[in-house]
Amino acid sequence: MTNRFALGLVLAPLVVLGACSQEAETSDDTLVIYSSRHYDSDYALYEAFTEATGVEVEVVEADGDLLIERVKADGDSNPPDVIITVDSGRLWKADQEGLFASTSSDILNQRVPASMRHPDGHWYGISSRARVLVYAKDRVQASDLTGYESLADPKFGGRVCARSSGNIYNISLLSALIARWGEERAQDWASKVAGNFARDPQGGDSDQIRAVAAGECDVALVNSYYYARMALGTDDDVSNVAVYWPEADPGVHVNISGAGVAANARNPELAKQFIEFAVSDEAQKLFPELTSEYPIVASVTYDNAVLEELGTFKADPLDGTTIGSRQEEAQRLFDRAGWP
Amino acid sequence: MATAIDSIGNRAGAAAGAILRRLDPAVIGTILAAFFALPIIALIVLAMSGDSEYLDHIASTRLTEFSTKSAQLAIMSGALAATIGVGCAWLVTRYEFAGRRALSWLLILPLAMPGYVAAYSWYAITAPGSKFEAASGWDLPTVSGISGAAFIFALTLYPYVYLLSRNAMEAHGRLSWDIARSLGAGSWRAFRQITLPMIWPAAAAGTALVIMEVLADYGVADFLGVSTLTVGIVRAWSSFSDPAAAAQLAVLLLFGALLALGAERTARGRRQFASTGASDTQLSPRSQLTGWRSALVASLAMLPIALGLLIPAGNLAWLAINTRPSGSVLPALQGTLLLAIGSAVLAVLLGLTAAYVLRSGNRLARASVRLLQAGYAVPGAVAAIAILSALAIGQSVLNALSGAQAAILTGGSIVALLLAYQSRFAAVAILPSEAALVKVRPELDEAARSLGASPMRVVTKIHLPLVLTGLATAGLLVAIEVMKELPATMILRPFSLDTLAVTAHNYASDERLAQAALPALILIAICVPATALLNLVRPNA
């Protein structure tokens, strides 16, 4: 290779860089949404909102925790109008950091159940998922299962799969269980579940379902929507896997995705309008139909064969703030219990 | 009028030229290194600002496990990557076999495969009940846990070792080896006593890069279920909302990285192999292999390419074909290229000047460069938080000075992102430049200086031509790293900017590997020509 070639290789990028270094400007009548969700249902929601109102939507997507740090750091200079994130733990954390503004809306208060929104209107649930047990039909009887506590049952020794304890769905579940049972029993449960593991926690929720289907474990702790997605799709055979609703009092733990008006929103009115739109019948059916999540407005009718087959369930009415505020305690319990 | 402006321009140009000529490159390097080391300093400040509550908790529960797993994983991955890298470099420089020329550059390509993508893909292939196992009837060991993670890291990162070792072997020629052989040394003894010491600095530098990247990884370790220190760091932040605690653990990792760098320095020792003259680089013919031997060596050299790139990428391609793409990936492609190219330019500047600091700077300057290099082992997410806090400090200083909101430093700008990349990937930029500069004998500088050449002239007329290949390597390596980088990009990018890695990750983190496949494949597809260019940038080619 000639030196001139290497020099060209070093210098050429400067030209390209100069040619494409411009940033888009956001105009005043654009709605800026920061979201840690990236689902087809949400893209359809943004599109439907633009169609209904003529307002353009700019979306920034990032993982939940990164999103919070980012909004915090940006301060006043580059604010979102709406913040959407998954899980009550993250909603609580974002709220603790002062990222949400208080909003009052009769529409929202009417349509979103009280346990699925912030008491002062800092955020409102827009969709939910249930944390359920799945089991192998040929190796486990539904009557062997009584609730989340079954995972700690000695008869399931070496037969349980779950993902790692750093995962926010597990943390939120344990937070709810601490509220339900108290710290001591919750930690005892976590250690016994960890003792029942068929393998070290690995992969995501779908991988736990696959492991049950493949016979590596018999019971697994997963979110409903992963099961529904796999059952609807053609890539995986989950015909041998069934869902058990851990409805034992006070009910099935539910993960909320929520939206709130950002504290430094440039267009708070538009932001409120967007959240109201997100809980309308038209928008709510997008979540079950495109993402297999449950709508936050129970009365909405939708078309999803798997969710229909799963039927209704009794949800734990525990409020998001209680779940969120116990995140740290829950991770401590997991660490002490030896759940990796 | 026009001539007046011209003459002012000329004079200004001449003045700037004069200043430039008088500048010592080592001074520029020190300034640059100090600037890019700012986030690391911010990290240390952040670490000291917190209390020890999380540290106490973690020390009494899982710190031992975290540290042991990190150390085990780093050693296993480093050893495996070094074996593959040096072994393959040896095969392609020493022997002539079927497909050698093609394999010689194909062996670099697995660097195009992001570790987390390889992990998702391999897990999908080998997990119990996978389609592949169902179709083939084989029961493959699942790629998970610490050995699975070491497998992924070794096969996606060995090209660092391979590339630097191969170039070193070619630069040093085979003559010395042949002389050793002709003097009666066995093949193995000649390799061990002649070749190995000669390529030792290069192989050690490559292995140090691998180890630092393994220490900083979160995605692979978390997905495959290895509780490393980085997993603990991310949890300190995600579960305990305690960035200061995350910073404290990250400082621990920094020490680990400094250890790796120190080991690399020690390994290199005082053995400096400046080229002894033109005769040394003359190549004697490679040993010709024929028949089954040729086929065996060719398939041996093919193995890492298949495991590191072809199989996981093939699985993705198969998934992508059967999936309807959601949305255009064109904006993400543009964003990726913009960031990669910008970073490559900066990396070349930084690499060159920092290499000077290491060659001729004072102790303090050298220390700042070493600190900067250790930044490679800081997890991307932590580096991003550190940069946000560094920027916040800078912003408040600026605000105080200007008395207003000077919105130039806030997060979410391309500048912040480029700064983050340089402080993260400085090691990748500096090591190849340094390795190239080491080969330029100091006597050359002295001779030129004694003839009255300015320091800058020595650089442009003597060093630059000699180290261009090292610089181009640095630029390309950083470009590839940046294209694959995830956490810092996610947190710092301007919201109008999408990248392929971010798009792929968004889908993969939702456990939608099929949708993630297309952006991941495009990412691999643009990293491949970049890695292929690395092959053109080689001595004696």
> pLDDT digit string (tens) for A101-116?
999 999 999 999 998 9
How are the residues of chain B apportioned to helix, strand and coil, as percentages rounded to the nearest 5? 80, 0, 20
Structure tokens at A93: 């954390």
B510 at A interface, C-beta within 8 A = yes
Least confident window among A308-317, A320-329, B457-466: B457-466
Predicted local distance difference test score (pLDDT) of residue B355: 78
Give me the pLDDT at residue A280, please: 96
The whole-number average pLDDT for the span B348-368 is 78
Residues A144-170: what's their mean pLDDT?
94
The pLDDT assigned to B539 comes to: 52
Q: How far apart are CA B366 and CA A162, in angstroms?
A: 48
Whether the per-residue pLDDT at B541 is higher than 80: the answer is no
CB contact under 8 A, A1 and B405: no
**Residue B538 clears pLDDT 70, i.e. is over it:** no
User: Which pLDDT band holds residue A66 (cuts at 50, 70, 90)?
Assistant: confident
pLDDT for A96 beyond 50: yes
Max mean pLDDT range (B29-33, B174-178, B404-408): B29-33
**pLDDT band of A27, cuts 50, 70, 90:** low
Q: What is the mean pLDDT of chain B?
A: 81
pLDDT 10s digits, B184-197: 777 778 777 777 77
Nearest to B32, CA basis, from B347, B338, B261: B347
- Residue-wise pLDDT tens digits, B78-97: 999 999 999 999 999 888 99
The whole-angstrom separation of Cα A3 and Cα B332 is 33
Residue B300 has phi, psi (to 5 degrees) of -60, -45
Contact A324, A175 (CB under 8 A): yes
Confidence category of residue B1, pLDDT binned at 50, 70, 90: very low
Pairing of strands A56-61, A82-86: unpaired
Q: Which chain B residue has the Cα nearest residue A86? A: B510
Question: Tokens standing for B343?
Answer: 């970073």
Among A73-87, A130-144, B94-108, B198-212, the minimum mean pLDDT is found in: A73-87
Please tell me which of the candidates B385, B410, B541 has its beta carbon nearest to residue A74: B410
Query: Rounded mean pLDDT of B41-47?
Result: 83
Minimal CA separation from A124 to chain B, in Å: 22
User: Are A205 and B412 in contact (CB < 8 Å)?
Assistant: no
Among residues B174, B157, B172, which one has the least CA distance to residue B202?
A: B172
State yes or no: pLDDT of B140 exceeds 60: yes
- Residue A84 is given by DSSP the state E
CA distances from B37 to B198, B370, B409 (A): 32, 10, 17
Q: Which domains does chain B have, with CATH numbers?
A: 24-269+293-536 (1.10.3720.10)
B21, pLDDT greater than 60: no
Q: What percent of chain A has pLDDT over 70?
A: 90
Spatial separation of the C-alpha atoms in residues A141 and A162, rounded to whole Å: 19
pLDDT over threshold 60, residue B277: no
Who contacts B489 (Cβ-Cβ below 8 Å, separation ≥6)? Answer: B339, B380, B417, B499, B501, B502
Give chain A's length.
340
A77 has a chain B CB within 8 A of its CB: yes
Q: Please tell me which residue of chain A has the smallest CA distance to B121.
A: A203
Burial level of B5, CB count in 10 A (0-12/13-18/19+)?
exposed
Contact B391 A235 (CB under 8 A): no
Q: What is the average pLDDT across B194-208? A: 84
The fraction of chain B above a pLDDT of 70, given in percent, is 86
Q: Which among B61, B490, B510 has CB closest to A66?
A: B490
Contact status of A232 with chain B (Cβ, < 8 Å): no
Residue B508 pLDDT? 81
**C-alpha distance from A18 to closest chain B C-alpha (Å):** 9
Looking at residue A22, its pLDDT comes to 38
Q: Provide the pLDDT confidence category of residue A262 given band limits of 50, 70 and 90.
A: very high
Q: How far apart are the first and last CA of chain A?
A: 51
Backbone region of residue A179 per phi and psi (left: phi > 0; alpha: psi in -120 to 50; beta: other values): alpha
**C-alpha distances in Å from residue B337, one per residue of B12, B340, B346, B516:** 34, 5, 14, 19
Give the HSE-up count for residue B122: Cα atoms under 13 Å, Cβ half-sphere. Answer: 30
* pLDDT averaged over every residue in chain A: 88
Q: What's the pLDDT at A247?
A: 93
- Mean pLDDT, range B464-485, rounded to an integer: 85
Cross-chain Cβ contact A6/B327 below 8 Å? no
Residue A13: list chain B partners with CB under 8 A.
341-342, 344-345, 475
Domains annotated for chain A, with CATH where assigned, are 30-128+254-302 (3.40.190.10), 130-253+322-337 (3.40.190.10)
Check CB contact of A6 with chain B, cutoff 8 Å. Answer: yes
Q: Which residue of A has its CA nearest to B530?
A: A9
**Closest CB to A166 among B235, B391, B412:** B235
From the list B341, B385, B469, the residue facing A6 with the nearest CB is B469
- ipTM, two decimals, is 0.81
The predicted-structure confidence for B403-461, as pLDDT tens digits, reads as follows 555 445 554 577 778 888 888 888 888 877 777 777 677 777 778 878 888 777 777 77
- Give residues with Cβ within 8 angstroms of B92, minimum separation 6: B100, B103, B104, B107, B166, B301
Under a CB-based contact definition with an 8 Å cutoff, are residues A78 and B410 in contact?
yes
Contact state of A21 with B533 under an 8 Å Cβ cutoff:
no
Lowest pLDDT segment from A254-263, B2-11, B459-468: B2-11
Q: Which among A203, A216, A328 has CB closest to B239?
A: A328
**Tokens representing residue B469 in the block:** 């290949």
Please determine, for residue B391, whether its predicted confidence score (pLDDT) is greater than 80: no
Instruction: Provide the pLDDT for residue A276.
Output: 97
* pLDDT for A219 beyond 80: yes
* pLDDT score of B202 more than 50: yes
In this structure, of A6-15, B42-51, B118-127, B178-187, the range with the lowest mean pLDDT score is A6-15
* pLDDT over 90 (residue A85): yes
Q: Identify which has the larger pLDDT, A231 or B17.
A: A231
pLDDT bracket for residue A17 (50, 70, 90): very low
SS3 content of chain A, % helix, strand, coil (to 5): 45, 15, 35
Is it the case that residue A2 has pLDDT exceeding 60? Answer: no
- A294: β partners: A128
pLDDT score, position A226: 93
Cβ of residue B188 closer than 8 Å to a chain A Cβ: no
Residue B278 confidence (pLDDT): 43
Assess B153–A contact: CB distance below 8 Å, yes or no. Answer: no
Question: What gap in Å lies between CA B510 and CA A238, rounded to an integer?
Answer: 18
**CA-based nearest distance A332→chain B, Å:** 8
In angstroms, the CA B143 to CA B218 distance is 16
For B492-509, the pLDDT digits (tens) are: 777 668 889 888 887 887
